[in-house]
Structure 1
Amino acid sequence: MRQRGYTLLEIIVAFAVLGLALTLLLGTLSGGVRQVRWSADVARAALHAQSLLDEVGVGEVLVPGRRDGEFEGGRYRWVLDVAPYVDRARPPGQPVDPFAPQLLQLQLVVTWGEGGPRETLQLQSLRLVQPDPSGVAG
C-alpha cells in the first residue's frame, strides 16, 4: 500500500501563500480603520467649528480682530479672523453710511492631528451687524 501525503515543500508554499493573503487583508483593514478615524476627526472638527460660528456675535458685539482657542483640551485648535467685508464690485470712493448695517467676513481655521497640527478645516461666513449707537460720535 502506498500512502500519499503532502511534501514539506508543498506545506511551506501553502503557508507562504496564507501569510501573503493575511498580510494583504490586514493591510486593507488597517487602511479602512485609518479612513474611519480620519472621517470621525473631520466630522468632529466640523461640529466644533459650526458651534463656534453659531456662538460668535451672540450676546456680544462682533468687532474686527483675531481670536484663537482650543477644543477638547487642545486636540483641536482654532483661529477666527473677523474683518470688514470688501465688496470688489463696489466702485472705490463711494461714500459709506456710518449708520448702515456693516457686513463682516469671518474666517475660521480649525487644525488638529497627532504630533502637531497636520489637518486643517477652513470655513468662511458673512455676518450683518448693526452699528453700535454708543460708539458713533455725534
Structure 2
Amino acid sequence: MNRTSQRKARGFTLLEVIVAVIIAALCLSALAQVFATGVRAAGTASDYTRAVTLAQSLLAGAGVEKALEDGAEGGTTADGKLAWTLTVTQEPTEDADALVRPPLELKRVIARVSTVEADASVTRPRVVELSTLLAVPRPTP
C-alpha cells in the first residue's frame, strides 16, 4: 500500500473536525436567534390582538351596561397584563345655540388599552386606542 491510500483510510484530521464543529455552532446560533425573534413577534401579536379585542369590548358595552356619563374609568385585566381606560366626553355640536334642539346628543367614547410591563424601563408600553361617537337621549330639564 502506498502513502496516499493509507492517508485516505485514516479519516478526518483534528483541524477538520474543529472547523466542522465551529461551522455547525455558528449555524445553530443563527437558527436559535431566528427562532427567538419569531417567538417574541408571536407574543407581541398576541398582546396586540388581546388589546384590540378588549378595546372593542369596552366600546360595545358603553351605554349598554350602564348609562353614559361624562368622565373616565379604568382598570386592569385579571392577569394584570393590560390596563384600560374608558373616557366619555360631550361632543360639541352646532345646535348648542338653537332654539329647538334635537332629542339626542353626541358622546365621544374613547377606549385606551395599554400593555403593562413588569420592568417599564426595558420597553415602552404598547397602546391601542379606539374611539366612537354615540347618540344618547338628552337629559330632560
Same fold (TM over 0.5): yes
SS of residue in 1 equivalent to 2:35: helix
Q: 1:108 to 1:102 in 2, by over 3 A?
A: same
Aligned to 1:107: 110
The alpha-carbon deviation at position 98 of structure 1 amounts to 5.2
Give the unaligned 5+ runs of structure 1. none
Spell out, residue by residue over 1:13-37, the C-alpha distance to the aligned partner (whole angstroms, 9 max, x if none): 1111100000000100110111111
CA distance in 2, matches of 1:19, 1:113: 37
59-68 vs 108-117, greater mean Cα deviation: 108-117
Q: CA RMSD in A?
A: 2.2
Look up the equivalent residue of 1:109 and give its one-letter code: R
Q: Is the 8 A contact 2:51 2:82 kept in 1?
A: yes
Instruction: Compare CA radii of gyration and give the structure with the larger one.
Output: 2
Give the unaligned 5+ runs of structure 2. none
1:56-67, aligned counterparts within 5 Å? 56-67=62-73
- TM-score w.r.t. the length of structure 2 is 0.81
Q: Is the 8 A contact 1:98 1:131 kept in 2?
A: no
1:124 to 104, 112, 131: 131
Q: Is the 8 A contact 1:48 1:71 kept in 2?
A: no
The alpha-carbon deviation at position 3 of structure 1 amounts to 3.4
Aligned to 1:78: 84
Q: 1:59 to 1:121 in 2, by over 3 A?
A: closer
Q: 1:84 to 1:11 in 2, by over 3 A?
A: same
- TM-score w.r.t. the length of structure 1 is 0.83
1:83-102, aligned counterparts within 5 Å? 83-86=89-92, 90=94, 94-95=97-98, 97=100, 100-102=103-105
Look up the equivalent residue of 1:37 and give its one-letter code: G
